[in-house]
């Protein structure tokens, strides 16, 4: 069963609902890669659109970590998608906000935006044991961060985690968001081929690649 992966939304909820509606017509479940926005009621429960239970998301760095735990559409912090019939897909939430200095904690920035070091250790253990073919995340590995973001730039904790995951096991496909660009290329990592795909569904960025079916 294919799943439609959706890039960053940034509170463009109507656009998100349209993408979900099209996926339903095609019989597809969706997973949004984070940066959905800070108000999940507007995303999933409005008089105009009641989003069905077949649409899911996990947190990025522009999500509401004071309410995300209680949102039934939230997949959680990390793990495989066995619950959606796809144990070959593994996800990790989180990324680092570069302009947190101008944001308000608890309103549009949350210190929980990245996984704790303890949870990252759990991720590495699961990753080594399961060795999934597909990785979906909000952030990307440190090497890709250096390519996508101009200097000066310090790789995020999440980027360093993904680099460590590559050192343990290189997936066949890695789909991520966060960088607001369209990217689809195959590279060599640790002598193995990996397809890297970056997507963004925020219409303000007018990206060619908003979603991908895997």
The alpha carbon of 200 is separated from its chain's Cα centroid by a whole number of angstroms, namely 10
Cα–Cα distance between 170 and 159 in angstroms, integer? 15
Give the tens place of pLDDT for each residue, 100-130: 999 999 999 999 999 999 999 999 999 999 9
Task: Please indicate whether residue 207 or residue 61 has the higher confidence score (pLDDT).
Answer: 61
Q: How distant, in Å, are the alpha carbons of 2, 8, 89, 141 from that of 15?
A: 21, 11, 25, 28
Give the tens place of pLDDT for each residue, 31-73: 999 999 999 999 998 876 667 789 999 999 999 999 999 999 9
pLDDT value of residue 49? 66
Residue 1 pLDDT > 90: no
pLDDT value of residue 47? 73
Enter the DSSP assignment of 206: -
pLDDT value of residue 185? 96
pLDDT value of residue 96? 95
Q: What pLDDT band is residue 146 in, cutting at 50, 70 and 90?
A: confident
Domain boundaries, the chain: 3-213
Architecture of domain 3-213: 4-Layer Sandwich (3.60)
Q: What is the CB neighbour count within 10 angstroms for residue 114?
A: 24
CB burial of 120-132 (b: ≥16 within 10 Å; e: otherwise) equals beebbebbeeeeb
């Amino acid at each position: 069963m294919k799943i439609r992966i959706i890039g960053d939304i940034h509170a463009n909820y109507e656009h998100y609902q349209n993408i979900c509606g099209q996926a339903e017509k095609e019989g597809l479940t969706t997973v949004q890669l984070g940066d959905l926005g800070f108000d999940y009621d507007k995303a999933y429960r409005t008089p105009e659109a009641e989003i069905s239970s077949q649409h899911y998301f996990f947190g990025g760095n522009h999500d509401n970590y004071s309410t995300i735990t209680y949102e039934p559409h939230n997949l959680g912090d990390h793990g495989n998608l066995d619950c959606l019939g796809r144990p070959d897909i593994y996800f990790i939430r989180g990324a680092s906000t570069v302009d947190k200095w101008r944001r308000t904690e608890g309103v549009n920035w949350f210190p929980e935006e990245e996984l704790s070091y303890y949870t990252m250790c759990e991720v590495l253990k699961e990753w080594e044991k399961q060795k999934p073919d597909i990785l979906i995340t909000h952030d990307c590995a440190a090497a890709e961060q250096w390519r996508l973001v101009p200097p000066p730039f310090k790789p995020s904790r999440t980027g360093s985690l993904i680099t460590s995951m590559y050192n343990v096991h290189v997936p066949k496909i890695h789909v991520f968001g966060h960088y607001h660009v369209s990217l689809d290329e195959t590279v060599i990592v640790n002598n193995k081929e990996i397809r890297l795909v970056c997507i963004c569904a925020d219409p303000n960025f007018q990206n060619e690649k908003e979603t991908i079916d895997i």
